[in-house]
Amino acid sequence: MPVPVARVLRSGIEESTHLGSVVVADAAGRVVASAGDPDRLTYLRSAWKPLQAAACLDRIGDLPLSDGEVAVMAGSHNAEPIHLEAVRSLLERAGLDDGALGCPPDRPIDPEPRGEPPSPLLHNCSGKHAGMLLACARGSLDIASYLDPGHPIQREILELTGAAAGAPVAALGVDGCGAPAAALPLSAFATAFARLPEGLGRSAARVVEAMRAEPYLVAGRGRVCTALMETFPDVVVKVGAEGTAGAALVGRGVGVAVKVEDGAGRARDAALVRALVLLEAIDPDAVAAFGAPPVLGGGVPVGELRADFSFD
| Closest C-alpha to 265, from 2, 3, 16, 18 | 18
Q: At 223, give phi and psi (nearest 5°).
A: -120, 140
Q: What is the pLDDT of residues 16-33, one digit of tens each?
A: 999 999 999 999 999 999
Any domain includes 312: no
Predicted local confidence at residue 81, as pLDDT:
95
- With a cut of 90, say whether residue 312 has pLDDT above it: no
* DSSP letter, residue 149: T
- With a cut of 90, say whether residue 115 has pLDDT above it: no
Instruction: Look at the chain and report how many structural domains it folds into.
Output: 1
- With a cut of 90, say whether residue 114 has pLDDT above it: no
CA 301 to chain centre: 30
Percent of the chain with pLDDT over 70: 100
Confidence band, pLDDT 50/70/90 cuts, at residue 271: very high
Predicted local confidence at residue 272, as pLDDT:
98
Any domain includes 311: no
Any domain includes 61: yes
Any domain includes 108: yes
Any domain includes 226: yes
SS3 readout for 185-211: EHHHHHHHHHHCCCCCCHHHHHHHHHH
Any domain includes 53: yes
List Cβ neighbours of 74 (8 Å cut-off, separation of 6 or more).
49, 50, 52, 53, 127, 128, 207, 210, 211, 218, 238
Any domain includes 201: yes
According to DSSP, the residues that pair with 17 across neighbouring strands are 7
Predicted local confidence at residue 269, as pLDDT:
97
Predicted local confidence at residue 38, as pLDDT:
97
Any domain includes 241: yes
Confidence band, pLDDT 50/70/90 cuts, at residue 85: very high
Predicted local confidence at residue 251, as pLDDT:
94
- With a cut of 80, say whether residue 260 has pLDDT above it: yes
The CA distance from 114 to 84, in Å, is 13
| Cβ count within 10 A of residue 202 | 10
Rounded to the nearest integer, the mean pLDDT of the chain is 96
pTM of the model: 0.95
18: CATH: 3.40.710
Confidence band, pLDDT 50/70/90 cuts, at residue 71: very high
Q: Which domain holds residue 83?
A: 3-306
List Cβ neighbours of 53 (8 Å cut-off, separation of 6 or more).
70, 73, 74, 128, 131, 207
Confidence band, pLDDT 50/70/90 cuts, at residue 199: confident
